[in-house]
Structure 1
Amino acid sequence: MAETKFDMIVIGAGPGGYVAAIRASQLGMKTAIVEREHLGGVCLNWGCIPTKALLRTAEVYTNMQHASAYGLKAENITFDLDAVVQRSRKIAKQLSGGVSYLMKKNKIEVIMGEARLKGANGSGPAVVVKGQDGKETTYQSKHTIIATGARARTIPQAGLEPDGKLIWTAREAMTPDTFPKRLLVIGSGAIGIEFASFYNALGSDVHVVEMVDRILPAEDKEVSAFARKSFEGQGMKISTETKVDKVEKKANSVIAHITGKDGKTVKEEYDRVVLAIGIVGNTEGIGLEDVGVKVDRGHVQVDEWLSTGVKGLYAIGDVCGPPWLAHKAEHEGVICVEKIAGSNSVHPLDVGRIPGCTYCQPQVASVGLTEAKAKAAGYKVKVGKFPFQANGKAVALGEQEGFVKTVFDEKTGELLGAHMIGAEVTELIQGFGIGMAMEATEEDFFHTIFPHPTLSEMMHESALDAYGRVMHT
């Protein structure tokens, strides 16, 4: 017999989970959320937020080193690694406390412990929670959402198993007990490049190894090429079409065996290694197989409304697969709950309109199709491009590195994609996101008045450039 009944139970209090719980409560459902570690999940405590705090420190540090370019004097610039890490942890703690406040405000019961699905009856599987005291309590709910997130993917190769000392995942990389003078980063997606950018900015000798032919492989090729040139100009070493065969561990360093695209293997010594080769869903130990949930390659299978196919059971966020983004998880949480509540205005998620951001120096942001993917999909395209160095605000800021690129359907004028690299592009990208959501055409961008002087003017100029109407180049 279930001890407590709810309309909605959410398993996992990351961005997707706690947002789903809030929306359920707003719609009048008696709601509970189960979390085994920290409210806010990996994103808030060990991912998105604390890494951005670290990257902000790196950005300020870099600017201080170039103070003379702004007519300022700053000498003997150094950093305190412990203080840098503590600032990051303090910010994460503050925001985790904010999630706790939101749960209380929305009258959501927080249950700390490890959840497991059990059995199935007319109203869906029960949720058994093993509390922090070791005792188990069973809860029944009409609807249950799995939002257990994901963890770092590891490599089943000799010496590359994360050990918390020499081989780091993202968690150890953001709370280092020592500053590595020589750092090997395996993987050049957003996570790998962000950590490479942080440590490189603070003075580490960083080497990024990527198996495919370019870094940031999900981005437009021009953005990837520009980013590589910029990073190498900052002193970063980058090897593409390259793999790490194995790692030999020493007392306080490692010897990596690295094979390049020429087939030759070299041995290089590093103080630490960061594994950044993707993530895998947290699907184990929660009873998915017991209740009939399908899991494929480490991720829960769901339909367009986030249903697992098991009555009353849903899944959202990273546990469902890529793109592994907090904002995608949040949006899925809202879609799932509103569909359960019978909303007539809810729509399935359009993955093609999810913005992606990488907070390196320079920043990278994109939404929609790349030029190559648009052409591969059969579109005849018009492409516009505008450089930062031709924008007044960018010049005034001393941020002249980068460009904005737009891809339009020549036939309809529909914006198919936008791709940016440069200062603050992670803030600018949402302008194109809104445009795509509203199905804006090139004419809409032409007739929108962009304030001057702003970086956003480059969005306007890029659209104009696609149609031969650019003003400032």
Structure 2
Amino acid sequence: MAAQSFDLIVIGAGPGGYVAAIRAAQLGLKTAVVEREHLGGICLNWGCIPTKALLRSSEVFHLMERAKDFGLKADKVGYDLDAVVKRSRGVAAQLSGGIGHLLKKNKVTVLMGQATIPAKGKVSVKTDKGTEELTAKNIVLATGARARELPGLEADGDLVWTYKHALQPPRMPKKLLVIGSGAIGIEFASFYNTLGADTTVVEVMDRVLPVEDAEISGLAKKAFTKQGMTIMEKAMVKQLDRAKGKVTAHIEVKGKVEKHDFDTVISAVGIVGNVEDLGLEALGVKIDRTHVVTDEFCRTGVDGLYAIGDIAGAPWLAHKASHEGVMVAELIAGKHAHPVKPESIAGCTYCQPQVASVGYSEAKAKELGYDIKVGRFPFIGNGKAIALGEPEGLIKTVFDAKTGELLGAHMIGAEVTELIQGYVVGRQLETTEEDLMNTVFPHPTLSEMMHESVLDAYGKVIHM
């Protein structure tokens, strides 16, 4: 059988791959996408989307428990974990089906199977029906990443879970240990803690949510502790002793090892790129700590081979992958493409309270040598936040004192994952403090705090 030929073959149909394929097809390129498991990748099926559905359920549950605060009555508030999970899976399935429809509509050829690249410009796909040979001048690697497993702390699906087990739990944990306090760890800690699990979070760095601004991390820790979580920083899980229905964790804190018993452990200690079994080494692709090394245009250094999304390194975010997918498709189609700047990409964590940020933290801006002006505005000073019953939180802005450039924005509190976009647009448009000060924000909204935080950086704040 002759090899099928395409202008572009995308390996992986996650938020990087399927978007690259659709954009390439729109630009008139004959495009194929190869996926070994699920259209939509981890993000839609086992990541961003189903976790948000779970967290929404726990947020509503939390509000129901607070009904009295709002002058409402809700007696015998409870939950059905199976039904919560079923809703989450339904949301994921609906969106995954939608991706299939979009690819079909854009006339992208979809092959379900395992891809390898036997030679430059060639892709071999092992499907249920046998092996298909494809050729293309351009190939995009969008194979994503998976959970990092530490020796001795491997998941077993019963006592020790990865994010996948935590999304379809075999039971409700009573005493839960979460290893790692990045976005994934903290979101699961927040979900299970809200539903009543006695939750402990262990973080090897000196603070929770270590990629965030230190002040925001401090406020997050305070909020989590108030909700009943135990937070252990500068701590490391050395070993897990597994027995029937019980795990004894050996946790090293300040040079001493403490033993604590749990019935469930969730490991969220980072990710490793899916770089194996593709034939990359033979092609001469540079791989650094499980990630493909690329330039700013996602080129691997091997002619016609690109890598986007998680496989191409940090930040490990779906929206970064999608933008890189569009950029690469436009580059291949001969359009003028703009590289994606990592410091212009917002990070969002959907715990309670939510956390969101873009650009440099206060410490990073100083380290880079900027003379800075910092503004802050608390939720307690905002009418909408008080009316919502969400008076706890902070919006912080960091400016270059010389030019007025917005260097970074950091937030914690209700709905900040939706608010951050205002500052993202501001940075994209190279806005200055003056533009932001002269912008009229609607009242009463949470967004007014964004205005006040800017005013505060320049000693002009009104409501504080």
- Written as runs of structure 1 = structure 2, the 5 A alignment for 1:63-82 is 63-82=63-82
The separation in 1 between residues aligned to 2:182 and 2:2, in whole angstroms, is 44
What SS does the corresponding residue of 2:113 show, helix, strand or coil?
strand
What SS does the corresponding residue of 2:91 show, helix, strand or coil?
helix
- Written as runs of structure 1 = structure 2, the 5 A alignment for 1:6-21 is 6-21=6-21
Q: CA deviation at 1:339?
A: 1.2
Which residue number in structure 2 is paired with residue 132 of structure 1? 128
The separation in 2 between residues aligned to 1:254 and 1:434, in whole angstroms, is 47
Q: Which amino acid aligns with 2:403?
A: T
**TM-score, normalised relative to structure 2:** 0.99
- Written as runs of structure 1 = structure 2, the 5 A alignment for 1:175-254 is 175-254=168-247
Which residue number in structure 1 is paired with residue 139 of structure 2? 144
The separation in 2 between residues aligned to 1:438 and 1:15, in whole angstroms, is 25
Q: CA deviation at 1:132?
A: 2.3
The separation in 1 between residues aligned to 2:251 and 2:362, in whole angstroms, is 32
Question: Which ranges of structure 2 fall in alignment gaps of 5 or more residues?
Answer: none
The 1:44/1:80 distance shift into structure 2, 3 A limit, reads same
The separation in 1 between residues aligned to 2:15 and 2:141, in whole angstroms, is 12
Q: CA deviation at 1:415?
A: 0.2
The 1:312/1:2 distance shift into structure 2, 3 A limit, reads farther
Q: Which amino acid aligns with 2:267?
A: L
The separation in 2 between residues aligned to 1:464 and 1:114, in whole angstroms, is 54
Q: Is residue 421 from structure 1 mapped to residue 412 from structure 2 by the alignment?
A: yes
Which residue of the other structure, out of 437, 447, 457, is the alignment partner of 1:466? 457
The separation in 1 between residues aligned to 2:417 and 2:329, in whole angstroms, is 28
Q: CA deviation at 1:290?
A: 2.1
Q: Is the 8 A contact 1:281 1:298 kept in 2?
A: yes
Deviant stretches of 4+, over 3 Å: none
Structure 1 range deviating more: 193-202 or 332-341: 332-341
The separation in 2 between residues aligned to 1:2 and 1:233, in whole angstroms, is 65
| Identity of matched residues, % | 63
Provide, for residues 376-399 of structure 1, a one-character-per-residue CA deviation record: whole Å limited to 9, x for no partner: 100000000000010000000001
Q: Which amino acid aligns with 1:103?
A: L
- Written as runs of structure 1 = structure 2, the 5 A alignment for 1:4-43 is 4-43=4-43
What SS does the corresponding residue of 2:32 show, helix, strand or coil?
strand
Q: CA deviation at 1:137?
A: 1.0
Which residue number in structure 1 is paired with residue 328 of structure 2? 336
Q: Which amino acid aligns with 1:174?
A: L
Which residue number in structure 2 is paired with residue 379 of structure 1? 370
The separation in 2 between residues aligned to 1:132 and 1:471, in whole angstroms, is 66
What SS does the corresponding residue of 1:15 show, helix, strand or coil?
coil
RMSD over equivalenced CA pairs, Å: 0.8
**TM-score, normalised relative to structure 1:** 0.97
Which residue number in structure 2 is paired with residue 365 of structure 1? 356
- Written as runs of structure 1 = structure 2, the 5 A alignment for 1:75-154 is 75-120=75-120, 124=121, 126-133=122-129, 135-154=130-149
What SS does the corresponding residue of 1:332 show, helix, strand or coil?
helix
Q: Is the 8 A contact 1:117 1:290 kept in 2?
A: no
The separation in 2 between residues aligned to 1:410 and 1:285, in whole angstroms, is 50
Which residue number in structure 2 is paired with residue 410 of structure 1? 401
Q: Is residue 283 from structure 1 mapped to residue 275 from structure 2 by the alignment?
A: yes
Q: CA deviation at 1:166?
A: 1.2
Q: Is residue 311 from structure 1 mapped to residue 303 from structure 2 by the alignment?
A: yes
The separation in 1 between residues aligned to 2:183 and 2:89, in whole angstroms, is 21
Question: Which ranges of structure 1 fall in alignment gaps of 5 or more residues?
Answer: none
What SS does the corresponding residue of 1:73 show, helix, strand or coil?
coil
Which residue number in structure 1 is paired with residue 440 of structure 2? 449
Q: CA deviation at 1:2?
A: 4.9
What SS does the corresponding residue of 2:238 show, helix, strand or coil?
strand
Which residue number in structure 1 is paired with residue 427 of structure 2? 436
Q: Which amino acid aligns with 1:259?
A: E
The separation in 2 between residues aligned to 1:364 and 1:237, in whole angstroms, is 19
The separation in 1 between residues aligned to 2:286 and 2:61, in whole angstroms, is 48
The separation in 1 between residues aligned to 2:422 and 2:71, in whole angstroms, is 33
Q: Which amino acid aligns with 1:131?
A: T
